[in-house]
Amino acid sequence: MGCFIPAAIAVVLSGVMATRSVAAEAAIQIIPQPRSIQPAAGSFVLTPTTAILVISPELASVGRYLADLLAPATGIKLDVRQAGGSEAPSIVLQLDQALADLGREGYALECTPEAVTIRAANPAGVFYGVQTLRQLFPIRIESRQQVEGIAWTVPCVSIKDQPRFQWRGYLLDPARHFRTKEEIMHLIDLLAMQKLNVMQLHLTDDQGWRIEIKKHPELTATGARLADCSGKKGEHWFYRQEDIRELVAYAANRQVTLVPEIEMPGHSGAATASYPALACGGTPSSALCVSQERTFEFARDVLDEVLALFPSPLVHIGADEVTPARWRACPQCKPQMDKLAQTALPAEVTPFRLPANPMAGVPFQEDVARLQGEFVRRIDQYLTSKGRRMVGWDEILEGGLRTDSRAVVMAWRGAAAVSGAAGRKLDVVVTLHPDLYLDNATRLEQTYAFEPVPSDLPAGQEARVIGVQGNMWGEATPTIQRVEEQTFPRLCAIAETGWSARNNRNFQGFTTRLASFCRRLDLLGVRQTSREPSPK
Ligand SMILES: [Zn+2]
């Protein structure tokens, strides 16, 4: 299914197309919108003699990626060469420290009839220049079969570009409904196409444990065979460690960082189903019993193997929505909670209580926050000792973090969580419900209009907002088709929010460009949908 363009805008568009150069209008349709585009006359034409010239050896893999990208539709496997001096028209990839002011991911793309030149200070920038070049080619470049009778032209243009935010993410939830390795790879390809650079993998929850942990094999022997959200049971619903390594490498080759999310102490039903001794009273439940040392040792064992697999400097521990009934009935947790509730927080710990929020899954309770806070701070210190940074949902603010914590807060329960984190000098990734929740039926326009930096945030704290993310929770998506339909095209809006300058975004221009982008997605076999708000 193609994506939704409001009828009124489509009419306006057709009027514009009639009065301007159709070719020029149609030629440059890029998502996310680049920072500056200066069109020029003429075009570059790809032919079988075109070469990809890799001036810097570090760019060889980007060159091969580009050659592979262009081969199916054109039927031409471009030669990737390391030396310059070619007479033939070329696509030139080059590292250039003079462009360092564009940052790690910025790039400059120059197209003339003789050559397309992509320069950047870092390979990531060249890779994003390649993604822009891809969208400068005719839409049918995305065809996975050879297309006959088309000139593979690129309009002459000069583009300078860099992202607004360093974290441009997408959460996938294979815990609630398992997704295969191949499905994840396909989604990584689609993230890269939109210049998104983080995939958060929600690997554990009440319904399933999806990552092999060699020291604790029951996690997958039992925890990967529980009923999923459709009530189905599986035999092999987990990723072996070699699968994870393969996914990490595949993503890295596309400038995507896989951020593992291992839920604790809540959403841990699959862990306690596998090892009941980890739960209060030894009976499986959603919450880990956090008042026994073996629970911390278990968490440390799991994280040790996770850190060995995922090079990401950031590791997500969940820490949301603990259901406290079992803690309150636990002979170890209950006295601990009572004691903490009557004790002042240590001087080095700062808590932050969010305003009451109807979207909060579990309302704030002081004793619960204090007990969770003790556990979260230990995990924070453990990850810090391993050279990594903890990421957690905004509940980590309520239990209190140490003033020297370098944790990243993932804000989901309102702009107050963004301001609260930034005000405590913590970096924050914005993924507020409902605007950025792809499992919700939010309208495309609402998602596009969302601004991650709260209007009341003091100017000096804006830099604490390091990114934006769309969350594709998996409870209601039993198939990859449903995942794609929920994801697209709204993820394109989030990608533009994450990349494009704030003053360079407008919905009408976006929908024009989106029409082209969605035709590219069609050719890639990606299902898309339009959604009006409807009850869940
Ligand atoms: Zn307990």
Tens of pLDDT, residues 134-192: 999 999 999 999 999 999 999 999 999 999 999 999 999 999 999 999 999 999 999 99
Q: How far is the CA of 335 from the centre of ligand 1 (A)?
A: 10
- The pLDDT of residue 5 is above 60: no
Q: How far is the CA of 292 from the centre of ligand 1 (A)?
A: 7
Per-position b or e across 445-474, b if 16+ CB within 10 A of its CB: eebbebebbbeebeeebeebbbbbbbbbbb
In the prediction, which pLDDT does 26 show?
52
Residues 99 and 191 in one domain: no
Give residue 21's pLDDT band: very low, low, confident or very high (50, 70, 90). Answer: very low
Q: How far is the CA of 336 from the centre of ligand 1 (A)?
A: 9
Q: How far is the CA of 395 from the centre of ligand 1 (A)?
A: 19
> 296-305 long-range contacts, Cβ below 8 Å, gap at least 24?
296/375, 296/378, 298/216, 298/271, 299/264, 299/379, 299/382, 300/382, 301/213, 301/215, 301/216, 302/213, 302/216, 302/219, 302/262, 303/262, 303/379, 303/382, 303/383, 303/386, 305/213, 305/214, 305/215, 305/241
- The pLDDT of residue 363 is above 80: no
Q: How far is the CA of 327 from the centre of ligand 1 (A)?
A: 5
Q: How far is the CA of 155 from the centre of ligand 1 (A)?
A: 65
Q: How far is the CA of 234 from the centre of ligand 1 (A)?
A: 30
CATH number reported for the structural domain that contains residue 93 in this entry? 3.30.379.10
Q: What percent of the chain has pLDDT over 90?
A: 86
Q: How far is the CA of 281 from the centre of ligand 1 (A)?
A: 7
CB 142 within 8 A of CB 121: no
d(CA 112, CA 158): 9
Q: How far is the CA of 338 from the centre of ligand 1 (A)?
A: 13
Q: How far is the CA of 368 from the centre of ligand 1 (A)?
A: 12
Q: How far is the CA of 322 from the centre of ligand 1 (A)?
A: 12
Q: How far is the CA of 372 from the centre of ligand 1 (A)?
A: 11
| Pairing mode of beta strands 36-45, 153-161 | antiparallel
Q: Which domain holds residue 52?
A: 36-161
Q: How far is the CA of 519 from the centre of ligand 1 (A)?
A: 53
- The pLDDT of residue 371 is above 80: yes
Q: How far is the CA of 379 from the centre of ligand 1 (A)?
A: 17
Q: How far is the CA of 324 from the centre of ligand 1 (A)?
A: 10
In the prediction, which pLDDT does 87 show?
65
Q: How far is the CA of 286 from the centre of ligand 1 (A)?
A: 12
Q: How far is the CA of 32 from the centre of ligand 1 (A)?
A: 48
* Backbone Cα Rg of the chain: 24
Q: What is the pLDDT of residues 203-212, one digit of tens each?
A: 999 999 999 9
Q: How far is the CA of 466 from the centre of ligand 1 (A)?
A: 36
Contacting residues for 338 by C-beta, under 8 A, at least 6 apart: 367
Give residue 12's pLDDT band: very low, low, confident or very high (50, 70, 90). Answer: very low
Contacting residues for 126 by C-beta, under 8 A, at least 6 apart: 59, 62, 93, 94, 95, 107, 118, 119, 120
- The pLDDT of residue 115 is above 50: yes
Q: How far is the CA of 331 from the centre of ligand 1 (A)?
A: 7
CATH number reported for the structural domain that contains residue 414 in this entry? 3.20.20.80
Q: How far is the CA of 407 from the centre of ligand 1 (A)?
A: 25
Assess if residue 533 is contained within a domain: no
Give residue 234's pLDDT band: very low, low, confident or very high (50, 70, 90). Answer: confident
> Maximum distance among all alpha carbons in the chain?
79
Q: What is the pLDDT of residues 319-350, one digit of tens each?
A: 998 988 999 999 999 999 999 989 999 999 99
Q: How far is the CA of 348 from the centre of ligand 1 (A)?
A: 26
Give residue 2's pLDDT band: very low, low, confident or very high (50, 70, 90). Answer: very low
Residue where a domain terminates, one of 141, 161, 181: 161
The pTM score is 0.93
Mean per-residue pLDDT for 307-317?
A: 98
Assess if residue 6 is contained within a domain: no
Assess if residue 17 is contained within a domain: no
Q: How far is the CA of 301 from the centre of ligand 1 (A)?
A: 19
Give residue 358's pLDDT band: very low, low, confident or very high (50, 70, 90). Answer: low
Q: How far is the CA of 161 from the centre of ligand 1 (A)?
A: 52
d(CA 425, CA 463): 10
Q: What is the pLDDT of residues 462-516, one digit of tens each?
A: 999 999 999 999 999 999 999 999 999 999 999 999 999 999 999 999 999 999 9
Mean per-residue pLDDT for 216-239?
A: 94
Residues 84 and 105 in one domain: yes
Residues 344 and 457 in one domain: yes
Q: How far is the CA of 230 from the centre of ligand 1 (A)?
A: 30
Assess if residue 477 is contained within a domain: yes
In the prediction, which pLDDT does 381 show?
98
Assess if residue 458 is contained within a domain: yes
At 393, is the secondary structure helix, strand, or coil? strand
In the prediction, which pLDDT does 365 show?
87
- Provide the domain count of the chain: 2
69 Ramachandran zone, left/alpha/beta (phi>0; psi -120 to 50): alpha
Residue where a domain terminates, one of 100, 128, 161: 161
Count Cα atoms within 13 angstroms, Cβ side, for 273.
20
Assess if residue 79 is contained within a domain: yes
- The pLDDT of residue 102 is above 70: yes
- The pLDDT of residue 396 is above 60: yes
Q: How far is the CA of 287 from the centre of ligand 1 (A)?
A: 9
Q: How far is the CA of 277 from the centre of ligand 1 (A)?
A: 10
Residues 145 and 176 in one domain: no
- The pLDDT of residue 284 is above 80: yes
Q: How far is the CA of 384 from the centre of ligand 1 (A)?
A: 26
CB 32 within 8 A of CB 195: yes
Q: How far is the CA of 405 from the centre of ligand 1 (A)?
A: 26
Q: How far is the CA of 330 from the centre of ligand 1 (A)?
A: 5
Residues 222 and 334 in one domain: yes
Residues 173 and 287 in one domain: yes
Assess if residue 26 is contained within a domain: no
Residues 225 and 359 in one domain: yes
Q: How far is the CA of 298 from the centre of ligand 1 (A)?
A: 15
Q: How far is the CA of 334 from the centre of ligand 1 (A)?
A: 7
Assess if residue 1 is contained within a domain: no
Mean per-residue pLDDT for 94-109?
A: 98
In the prediction, which pLDDT does 361 show?
63
Residues 109 and 185 in one domain: no
Residues 80 and 177 in one domain: no
Residues 408 and 281 in one domain: yes
- The pLDDT of residue 194 is above 90: yes
- The pLDDT of residue 242 is above 90: yes
* Token couple for 487: 């994801």
Residues 156 and 210 in one domain: no
d(CA 324, CA 319): 13
Residue where a domain terminates, one of 161, 182, 199: 161
Residues 156 and 220 in one domain: no
Q: How far is the CA of 213 from the centre of ligand 1 (A)?
A: 23
Q: How far is the CA of 320 from the centre of ligand 1 (A)?
A: 17
